[in-house]
Every structure is written in structure tokens, then in C-alpha cells.
Amino acid sequence: MKQYTHYIGGEHLPGTSGRVAPIFNPSTGVQSAEVPLAAKSEVEDAIASAQAAFPAWAATSVLKRSRIMTRFTALLYEHQAELAELVSLEHGKVIEDAMGSVLRGIEVAEFACGIPHLQKGEFSDSVANGIDIYSLRKPLGVVAGITPFNFPAMIPLWMAGMAIATGNTFVMKPSEKDPGCPMRIAELFLEAGGPAGVFNVVNGDKVAVDTLLYDSRIKAVSFVGSTPIARYVYETATKNGKRCQAMGGAKNHMLILPDANLEGVANALMGAAFGSAGERCMAISVGVCVGDEVADKLIELLTPRIKALKIGTSLETGLEMGPLVTKEHRAKVMNYIQMGVDEGADLLIDGRDFVLEGHEEGYFLGGSLFDNVKKDMRSYKEEIFGPVLQLMRVQSFEEGLALATDHEYGNGTSIFTQSGAAARTYADRVEVGMVGINVPIPVPLAFHSFGGWKASSFGDHNQYGQEGMRFYTKVKTVTARWAESTIEADFSIPTLK
């Protein structure tokens, strides 16, 4: 059985706390590894390693940092299949989905290679006689990333790529459910020529999280996870004087108008609701049908597709869905399905009945489909985070728009229609951070940025893109005079002529 370590100062260090957590292969239900849960002192060691490495890394020329990031990106591409296999074995994503998730992370590291351009400041020449003003974007210092179980390659790279390229040093606390891929990514950074101590990985639970949130040497914290924890991370980090971006949960709606191509909608919903077993913060979990005719036809199209979902173990190819991440999470999703039944929604397809022959101990569910879901139901208000699609029936565009706008979460949404006017109005008015028009999962590419609204996001900056560069840097403005004559005393507020 594999024994994981911490990765501090470029070295693998065994845990010393005496606390460990098991890691299971979700396809088999069999324990595959053990991960140490760090004591406060071990997290402090990682912070100290990053702090020691910061001055030299921050002083490294932006071109050299870019070249190291370029070699790092090349290694990530070279090891993409290896990283995807680690994701599949510990998280349960089917291998094709895992490959795609690794690629989306690599794209951010690739974007960060352009840091010489991205991190440029501004310059104003001759604002007054002999005076210039210019601004610089400087790194913050030691920054931390706390990453979730559902994307153990993509989200660590969202954070690490921009944090390190901008001249910060980085301490990552990955999910204890699937730490293998984040650990390998840190190793590849060192192999690319990154200095020891710039990229550290410490495994752990709340003890590790709280140490990062309270330690004064940590200047910024980036988090992705559930909303209750995101709120806690944001409030604790900011109370302790840190910059923080904390991404939380979601309940993403797809508004389906009567003029939409329903064959295309059904196909889009299949991937958006059931891909990665629904364990995506950008999964479409609510289909909002304008009119009963749309809902009835969509159910007719979805039913055979959901019943025919290709479900199997994560390393098999040609599949559409693998297991859920843990036995406990599977039970949680099953409880939400029962909750929907108890609340009066119509369960048309019950994924709890699914059993994968030969893998009865794996954490599998089939796809579930609800109809006639109402907005006062708890199963609608809360994030299920599993392969469950809920359909709601509304009678107008305005009623559908209000559902997404009024919901507590505001992460992503989409509209399917042939009407440009309706699509434009929806994109403009809906109170959600990311909008797709005839696109079911509108995750922005690396040169834009990712972030929701309302209870889906806490903090002023989104992930990656130019927003990421701004989050991981602070502005220093210099006013410079090179005078040919002696400066005279002036006791009034400075004005420039």
C-alpha cells in the first residue's frame, strides 16, 4: 500500500503527527494508500521553507521565471497521461474526463508563461517638469492554496501557476482524499528547474487549514470547496489580515426556451449533469423548461439516454461516468435523492438501483432524473454534487430568469435558445458569474477568469487569467524626479505643473 509524505523544500518528508487518513480506489472500494495528516508544526515547516525561498525567487528575473514555467508546462504535457491516471485512481473520474481536466489545468500554467507581459506595470512620462510616475506589480510573499477533491490536477494548477509565476512562493494543502496528483505536480516543478521551497505540499485536514489561515507569514489564501467552508476560510483569512479568494458551491440552472433544439439540449444536459458523476461545481443540476411541452419532450429524450449511461471503472476507456469519490459521499447523494422523493418531486429514474457487476463494493450510482421540482424544496436549494438532474417547469422566460437570479448560489448558468435577443437579455440580467449561451458548462479559458457570484464566491478576485495575476500581486507606485537644479521647500500638498 502506498504511503504518501509531505513535500517540503523539495524533499519528501514522512508525517510525524501520528495521524493518517486512508485513500480508497473508488472503483473497487479497496484502500490503496495512506496519507499523513499534518500537525501544526509540520505546516509551519512548509511555511518556513516557502518563506526562506521567497527573497531569491521574487528577485529572479521575470524572463527566468517564465522559462522555468515553460519547462514546467512542457513536463506537464509530457506527463499528462500519468497525471490523469492518478486522478482516475483516486478520484474516480473516467480516464478521458481526467485527461481533459489535466489539460484545463495545464492551460493555466501555459498562460502563466506569458508573465513578462502579464505583470507589466504602467508608466507616465513627464507628468510634470522632470517627473515621471510608474507602477510595479510586486509579489505578495508566501501564499497558500487549499484545493478540493473533485479536480486534483486542474485546480492546483489554477492556483500554483499564477502564484509562482508572479514571484510568490506557494504552500498547497490538497484534499486528503486524492493527494497523489498534486504531489506529482510539485515534483515536476522542481524537475523543471524551479528552486526548492518555491512549491511545497503539506497534507492534512482542519489542523493544516487553520494553521495556514492564522499564520502571519501567509499573505494570501486561495480556496475552492463547499460554501460553508469557503465562508469560514474567507472570514478567518481576512480577519487575520490576508488577501483571500474562496470559491464555494453551486446550483447551476439551464434555461431551455421553446425554440431550442431539444435533441441538442438533451445531449448537452447528459454531459453537463452526469459527467464526472456530477461532482463538478459547474455541473448543470437544474434544467428549467419553459412550458410543459418542452419538459415532456425533454423527458422523452433524456430517459433512454440516462438509462443507457456507460458506467464503469475509472481506467476503462469509452465510458461516460465512473464512481463517486468516497463511500460517504455516495451515501450523501443517495440521501438527497430520498429527500427529493419525500419532498414530493417525481423521481422518474432512480440511480440508486445501479450495481456494477463485479464491482459491488465500488462507489457507483446511476443517473437520477427528477421532474416537478419546486423552488421551496431543500433538495433544490442545496448542492447535491452527484449524478442527479432536477427538472423544473415554468411558464415564461421571466420566471426562468428569476429562478437562477434568486437562488442563493450564483456560480454558472446557461441558456439554450435560437433567439439572440433572449440570450443577450439573459446573459445581461441573470445574477450569476459565468454564463453559457448554447454552451452547457461555461468554464472560461485560461486567458479569462473563473468565478461565481453570491454564495458561490467570497473575495474580490476571480481565479486565474488577469484576475489571478492581480490577486497574487500588489501595486507599488513610484514618483521620480531627476532635477537639474536644487529642490526648494514646499509646505503645501504636492501639485504638479
Spatial separation of the C-alpha atoms in residues 96 and 190, rounded to whole Å: 27
> Are residues 441 and 282 in contact, defined by beta-carbon separation less than 8 angstroms?
yes
Decide if 281 is catalytic. Answer: yes
The active-site residue out of 113, 181, 244, 281 is 281
Instruction: State the Cα–Cα distance between residues 315 and 322, nearest whole angstrom.
Output: 9
370 near 390, Cβ under 8 Å? yes
Distance between CA 222 and CA 460 in Å, rounded?
A: 12
Q: How many CA atoms lie within 13 A of 49 on its CB side?
A: 26
Asked if 6 and 171 count as a contact pair (C-beta separation under 8 A), the reply is: no
Task: Kindly state the cell numbers that stand for 7.
Answer: 513535500
Residue 5 CB neighbour total at 10 angstroms: 17
Q: ∠ CA(25), CA(27), CA(33), 5° rounding?
A: 5
Q: Are 192 and 66 in contact (CB under 8 A)?
A: no
Cα 400 from Cα 197, distance rounded (Å)? 50
d(CA 102, CA 79): 10
**CA quadruple 54, 463, 246, 136: dihedral positive or negative?**
positive
Single-letter code of the amino acid located at 467: E
Query: Is 280:384 a contact under the CB 8 Å cutoff?
Result: no
Q: How far apart are CA 443 and CA 276, in angstroms?
A: 15
Give the torsion through C-alpha atoms of 335, 339, 342, 344, to 10 deg: -140
The dihedrals phi and psi of 21, each to the nearest 5 degrees, come to: -130, 140
Beta bridge partners of 199: 170
User: Are 150 and 276 spatial neighbours (Cβ–Cβ below 8 Å)?
Assistant: yes
Phi and psi torsions of 167, nearest 5°: 105, 5
Question: Residues 344, 387: contact at Cβ < 8 Å?
Answer: no
Residues serving a catalytic function are: 281
